[in-house]
Chains A and B, each alone.
Chain A
């Protein structure tokens, strides 16, 4: 039993190395898939023990430092979500990836993510966090140097912030494991050995570190590039599970330093100030990223911004500071993982079969790829929050939590965000699946079987957790230690509202049956081609593609004209180019090739050192 945790952690990594070494078609895929499946199977197997005996810990001592892994209810929840998406990713990669490089780094980041979720001290947390960052960076590097650099620079900023925060905590507490730090900081409220300024500094540093990985505004700029310049099957994992590591970090702030932060920062209109900040970061992220998602012309970019926005929902919910908020956020972690994972796999299927990513090049694929289309429709329904889907259940909890926590403006941001979400998914539906098909897409075929399996796993989960959201909330109740959400498997009951998913489903079926009967009563329909439409007298021919794909939401762009002039992405890019120019200027000025100049530098340095008292 004791080997369970290392097995869960390192099987993907070992499998990854093996796929890289045994880089043969067939062998590679088999090992990779088995490596991805193992953690999920083991986590499922460990579940009864976890429920009956409580957390499982595993400790190894490396040169005096005890490294602790812990599998509690919270860790299990996140690790299981990661491994679900990981399995779907592996199935997707069987179809989309043709080399060991991808498998190695995909599975390496899988290990990294699981490690982050299972670590219970800052050494392993940080090391595996870096492993995860490194592996995902390598995935981007292979496709785009520019985007990978952007990701790299922001990740390094995040990493340094985290390292600094950990060092401060270590210097003050002398401990690195979460339990001791948590206990120390709790006691510190009374003792006051750690000043208010330091606490705030640590908070801001952690906020930066986790904010980068979660893609919180304004640190989200790496996400669109890194998500799109990638193997889209891997992006399913990248956006579905890896970005959750940042979210998990935000959640860790509660047990680690929640009380301390409460004392250091106090309250603001009856909200915990530190949580209030997180909530607003989430709300701004939701709105900004959703607006940008609506205006994208590339489907990968659209989903990348959408991922950023959806993670914003989770941060927003965590920041509400109530247990209902935490429950809603945790549920949304799951539903975002499964519907966005599904979206990325659908994207992977489209790119694999057509080789195109921009909306203007696509269209009319619903007839060519009906199964993929059905999967896409499920993902759309779930993301848009149409009732009997997992996406609705979690979003509903967040609504209830936000409004009953008396954060009306934050709740307003969710309303706006979900309207925008509706808009961008419908745009995706229209541009890719409907309308006139460009003539070069006539020979497109249905997605290959492994990819369909990967999609089906996630699609089924979307429906199952949608109709029976109680499956998830029951576990969340155990996780949070108090029955936040009452009800049964099909019915969620909060103190202020109820949502009965089963009755919504059944009545929807009845409604569809009634409407279907009216439809069947009518005369038979004759099938006509897509070009046979009403055009105010102008005949439609195949020569001109009349489907509106480019600049679909132009009026919105016009209405937002003022705001779109400002961009953090461009701001950072400009900052980077200024830095580059400055570096260039320095290089040209100092390394001028004149030996006499170099001798002068040496003299100056020596004089400075002498004045300082070093020499």
Chain B
């Protein structure tokens, strides 16, 4: 019993370090690939790590009060929680109890943390970012829900580990025609979840100077960078688990994650940004219709 406990503790710590590291690398890949598509050289792949360490080493940071400090801490904590409930390759961690709905919710909690902090700063750009973030979330929630419902209806279970196991027996989700539709919907929503074009409405660097992040500097920003890395890792893993049959080892997982990431980056680099109401109208039209078809096919 003690051995089992130690094993899970060591696994957890190892996985957190790995996930954070890989998350940063993903962020680096994102910048690099984007740069290559735009025929720039781009920063080195480990640039986000250097950035974060630099931010963490700042001699002074400013704060707008308790909630301002609590926001990023809460966001990172929630991202870590979400990560530990997802089955990552052959590491189960705490996912034996994990439920699709619970994880889907946990993946949204970090946003609340970021927004709490952003709102308490009192910066109008932050408020605008919060507004845009929430409206994007409202817009994407319906197709997102439909994709998840289609998936659950097909596999007949909410347990992530069972979904993975079933896919290993019956083939990946994307080999099922109805779930391909769900995949398309989920991938569109995924773009918004990662905050990439055409749905980078939240941060929109050229319009509202990074939105919720505008006030953050120093260690707060470092926390948010780390949170973004963990979240990126968790979300790509979530995608893999749901549609690409999970993974039996970390290498397989990594390949699938990078594939998912590359699609997201390619889409991001060719489309311009939607405005919020355009995004809402878009999400409630095609992805919703496709989602409804997927849901009805799997009924």
Residues of A near any B CB (own CB < 8 A): 294, 364, 366-367, 381, 384-387, 392, 396, 399-400, 403, 406, 408-409, 411-412, 414-416, 418-420, 422-423, 426-427, 429-430, 433-436, 491, 496-500, 503-504, 507-508, 510-516, 518-519, 521-536, 546-548, 552-553, 555-556, 558-559
Contacts and interface: CB of A to CB of B under 8 A. Distances in A.
Given A519-B69, A522-B61, A548-B127, A414 B122 contact: no
B236 interface: no
Interface string B59-80: 1111111010100111111111
Contact of A512 (B74, B100, B108, B214): B74
B1 to A, nearest CB: 17
A559 B132 CA distance: 13
Interface of B: 16, 56, 58-65, 67, 69, 72-81, 84-85, 94, 97, 99-102, 105-106, 108-109, 112, 115-116, 119-125, 127-128, 130-132, 134-135, 137-138, 140-142, 144-146, 148-150, 152-153, 156-159, 209, 214-215, 218-220, 222-223, 226-227, 275-277, 280-281, 291-292, 295-296, 298-299
Contact of B122 (A423, A434, A519): A434
Contacts of A535: 123-124
28 contacts: A386-B112, A396-B99, A411-B145, A416-B145, A422-B137, A422-B138, A423-B138, A427-B134, A429-B119, A434-B122, A496-B157, A497-B158, A515-B75, A515-B76, A515-B223, A515-B227, A518-B76, A518-B222, A519-B219, A522-B61, A523-B59, A525-B60, A525-B220, A526-B62, A534-B209, A548-B128, A553-B135, A555-B275
Contact of A508 (B58, B64, B77): B77
B106 A408 contact: no
Nearest to B144: A415
Nearest to A418: B141
B145 to A, nearest CB: 3
A519 B65 CA distance: 14
Contacts of B84: 507, 511
Contacts of B138: 294, 416, 419-420, 422-423, 556
A366 B226 CA distance: 28
B63 A510 contact: no
Q: Chain A CB within 10 Å — which of B125, B145, B277 has the most?
A: B145
B134 A423 contact: yes
Nearest to B56: A522
B69 A414 contact: no
A516 B73 contact: yes
Contacts of A530: 64, 121-122
A408 B295 contact: yes
A409 B298 CA distance: 12
A392 B56 contact: no
A426 B112 contact: yes
Nearest to B284: A559
Contacts of B276: 555-556, 559
A400 B295 CA distance: 15
B281 A559 contact: yes
Contacts of A513: 77
Given A420-B138, A559-B281, A403 B73 contact: no
Given A422-B137, A430-B119, A518-B219, A384 B112 contact: yes
Q: Which 10 A-B pairs have the closest CB atoms?
A: A415-B145, A522-B219, A419-B141, A497-B158, A511-B77, A511-B80, A512-B77, A530-B122, A515-B76, A525-B63
Given A387-B81, A523-B61, A534-B123, 10 more contacts: A396-B101, A416-B142, A423-B138, A426-B130, A507-B94, A510-B80, A518-B56, A518-B226, A533-B122, A533-B214
Main secondary structure of the interface of B (DSSP, over half): helix
Contacts of A491: 97
Main secondary structure of the interface of A (DSSP, over half): helix
A412 B63 contact: no
A336 B105 CA distance: 19
B105 A511 contact: no
A385 B101 CA distance: 11
Nearest to A530: B122
A406 B297 CA distance: 12
Contacts of A507: 80-81, 84-85, 94
B73 A547 contact: no
A503 B12 CA distance: 14
Given A429-B116, A510-B80, A400 B109 contact: no
Contacts of A433: 119-120
A556 B157 CA distance: 34
Q: Chain B CB within 10 Å — which of A522, A527, A532 has the most?
A: A522
Given A415-B144, A422-B134, A435 B127 contact: yes
Contacts of A547: 122, 124, 127
Nearest to B141: A419
B85 A385 contact: no
B280 to A, nearest CB: 4
B64 to A, nearest CB: 6
B136 to A, nearest CB: 10
Contacts of B144: 415
Q: Chain B CB within 10 Å — which of A491, A518, A547 has the most?
A: A518
A435 B122 contact: yes
Contact of A497 (B75, B77, B101, B125): B101
Contact of A514 (B16, B62, B130, B158): B16
Given A423-B138, A555-B280, A522 B295 contact: no
Nearest to B59: A523
Contact of B58 (A400, A523, A531): A523
A470 to B, nearest CB: 14
A523 B105 contact: no
A508 B81 contact: yes
Nearest to B127: A548
A426 B56 CA distance: 29
Given A533-B123, A547-B122, A547-B124, A498 B149 contact: no
Nearest to B116: A429
A427 B135 CA distance: 11
Given A403-B149, A412-B149, A558-B277, A367 B72 contact: no
Contact of B124 (A426, A548, A556): A548
Given A396-B99, A423-B137, A511-B78, A386 B105 contact: yes
A498 B162 CA distance: 12
Contact of B135 (A399, A403, A423): A423
A412 B123 contact: no
Contacts of A408: 146, 149-150, 153, 295-296, 298-299
B131 A416 contact: no
Contacts of A411: 145, 149
Contact of A430 (B101, B125, B130): B130
A559 B277 contact: yes
A529 B84 CA distance: 37
A435 B149 contact: no
Nearest to A526: B62
